[in-house]
Structure 1
């Protein structure tokens, strides 16, 4: 069976305390070698891989244990990027949900490891090491026959564009316009995916909070009121879909691609995006050429399953009905009913039976358990119970991996 598997999770898992302690020691002045980081990462990834396989998950991830934030270091490693430590608020779309959380006094923004293009973007195999390192740690932890099951999460190509005001994702004079910038972004993603494919990766999940922001009326209103913007908010969505399609245009047929419309599981379990998928579903499911859509459906913020009637044959949806923000364990039978309800809408749109539509569906938690390295309400035992519930639901509905 190829991805997506019937039981999935979104990638990030709660970090073990020794790993957190080592990273804190590095922040306090120790070198990575003194803190024993490399050995701890290797050991921790091996342990979390075993947790996943013991629970019956095929698409094994690193838990994002090599990262402090879910987007990792990938963009920092691209040629041409410049990190922002502090920036004037005038650079940012202040109605962008991520930016709202980062605004500090005196209209300064602490952008949280944010980068812009200081010169033309490029990809260097000598610099782009973090994703490859993550893949290799997982390969070391799993038998070779399981390598094709490894899932690597990767930040959306639009991550360091959407937050910035018009033309501010790159320094003046570097790119003539967004279209030129997007061409280079796609090229570096093509190169990264090619490098990872040659190293054995066959399953990539793009994490994309931004696509969920297009469902938010607050974001749409903010965009409409921002006189610096060129074009409509739906023009921007079209541009991002085209950017994705260009970025994955050279991916071989046996490499599975998916996109997670992330509504946020920030420190303390906060979310960033509200709004039903209806407003973007038809365009997104029709035009974005990934194999699988991972959608959050743990609360009413995401609306109903009606938009799934736009999912075409040949595409999959992973329905995230289990919360990673609340400790209470969901009722299994109620979650199964929700999956069957989702199948009814897929069937309606494709002209299939509900049983046929179920072949396009899988189940998961709505988001990662630890999109940043610490600050979450669930315990490791809570996490295991949630994952076991996902596995049990999948077994009882499909009886497949």
Structure 2
């Protein structure tokens, strides 16, 4: 399978962008019942229009809505499926023993407030309703760019395993709902396929799955916890392989539908990450067995390891190098970042036995993560974010002059 390009473009970003304070406050007011949803929509649309204009000003082609219509990066896909329920909204709540205490995001959430965000389980058989929760985002974006550019619009999508990994074995669904993960995965995959079909029919050609879970398999601490958990009926390697098969079932798609995946180590309140660990453990299997065209990889700090795993990148895949941090305002040195891109290309070159120039054709550059995976965003300001985006564009222009 050949790898579609344009997208990805030479200068990319991960999707989420800082939200205006008034939008965040209004969303909280709506959630608290102090304001109407009707009051929220004009603010959302105005902020999305403004953030699209910023992306265009900075020279980005794969525009997103900045996730300004969401409170958290994963949106509401699972919550709108038949059979999925936010059980923390039930009277009496839930038993915290359902969680993997060593899951990196769960540990962080528990430290913050004892309750992970949106505790959602399968309380019945999962099925798509036929109405897409992501479609309105795409349809509004289509009104903001020329029709010729609709194919470039990037929509960030929920990780298929988002509401599976955080829970212990067979605890992503209530007893009696499913007899095995295989049954649960099959129904989620069918729902995911229907979602992608709706979006494709509407014109979407550029999707990006935001996925912290696969990167957690790089973490020594997580793997230690996994091994010590006597309830696990699979090794971590077996679970990772099962996820890749599950994801492939979810993202079957036409050949002109570009699909990428962002591997994230966390992007939480206070610009915190959840986990650390190099890609070495998972790279070869992920690059070769996961049916996506593009990998958006974090490479802003040593917590992600070196570029050596890129030696396993096949010739038909792309990598977007997240060398510019989105977490803090200090601006990276352009020359140093350009050299890092060349260094990454040299590992691709070595692995495939090709020249650096050929290897560069499979690479792009971006910030390491979103600027606002959660409502309040990271610890930097709007001007800082704009400078970061401009830097990414400048790096791309220097490394790939004249290319999109």
Going from structure 1 to structure 2, the CA distance change for 1:53 and 1:104 (only over 3 Å counts) comes to closer
Q: Does 1:133 align with 2:136?
A: yes
**Whole-Å separation in 1 of the counterparts to 2:297 and 2:80:** 29
Aligned to 1:331: 333
Q: Does 1:23 align with 2:30?
A: no
Q: Any idea what the Cα deviations from partners look like across 1:318-354, whole Å, max 9, x if unmatched? A: 0000001111100000000000000000111111100
Alpha-carbon contact 1:88-1:109 (below 8 Å) kept = no
Q: For 1:229, what is the secondary structure of its paired residue?
A: coil
SS for the counterpart of 2:42 is helix
Provide the rounded CA distance (Å) in 2 between the counterparts of 1:153 and 1:163: 20
Q: Structure 2: how far apart are the matches of 1:28 and 1:215? A: 38
Match of 2:54 among 46, 51, 54: 51
Give 1:259 shift.
Answer: 0.6
| 1:87–1:111 contact (8 Å) kept in structure 2 | no
* Misfit runs of 4+, over 4 Å: none
Q: Which residue of 1 aligns with 2:94?
A: 87
Residue pair 1:158, 1:240 contacting (<8 A) in 2 also:
yes
Q: Which of 287, 291, 294 in structure 1 is aligned with 2:293?
A: 291
Please tell me whether the aligned partners of residues 323 and 366 of structure 1 are also in contact (alpha carbons under 8 angstroms).
yes
Q: Equivalent residues in 2 for 1:196-345 (5 A)? A: 196-249=199-252, 251-345=253-347
CA offsets 1:288-343 (integer angstroms, 9 cap, x no match): 11000000000000110000000000100000000011111000000000000000
TM-score, scaled to structure 1: 0.96
Q: Does 1:14 align with 2:18?
A: yes
Q: Show structure 1 runs of 5+ residues with no match.
A: none
Partner of 1:267, secondary structure, is: coil
Deviation at 1:174, TM superposition (A): 1.1
Q: CA deviation at 1:89?
A: 2.2
Cα deviation, 1:86-135, whole Å, max 9, x if unaligned, reads: 43221011000111122279xx9512112111111101123x3x311111
- Please state how far the C-alpha of 1:33 moved relative to its aligned partner: 4.4
Out of 147, 166, 169, which is 2:169 matched to? 166
Residue 177 of structure 1 deviates from its aligned partner by 0.4
State which of 110, 116, 123 in structure 1 corresponds to 2:115.
110
Gapped regions of structure 2 (runs ≥ 5) = none
Task: Tell me how far apart the structure 1 counterparts of residues 123 and 28 of structure 2 sit (CA, whole Å).
Answer: 30
State the TM-score, normalized to the length of structure 2: 0.95
Give the total of aligned pairs. 395
Contact 1:93 1:164 in 2 (8 A): yes
Contact 1:311 1:346 in 2 (8 A): yes
- 2:359 corresponds, among 346, 351, 357, to 357
* Whole-Å separation in 2 of the counterparts to 1:230 and 1:211: 18
Name the SS for the 2:86 alignment partner: strand
Cα distance, 1:31 vs structure 2: 3.8
1: CA distance, partners of 2:25 / 2:224:
43
Is 1:372 the counterpart of 2:374? The answer is yes
Alignment match of 2:103 (pick from 96, 106, 109): 96
d(CA) in 2 for partners of 1:64 and 1:2? 21
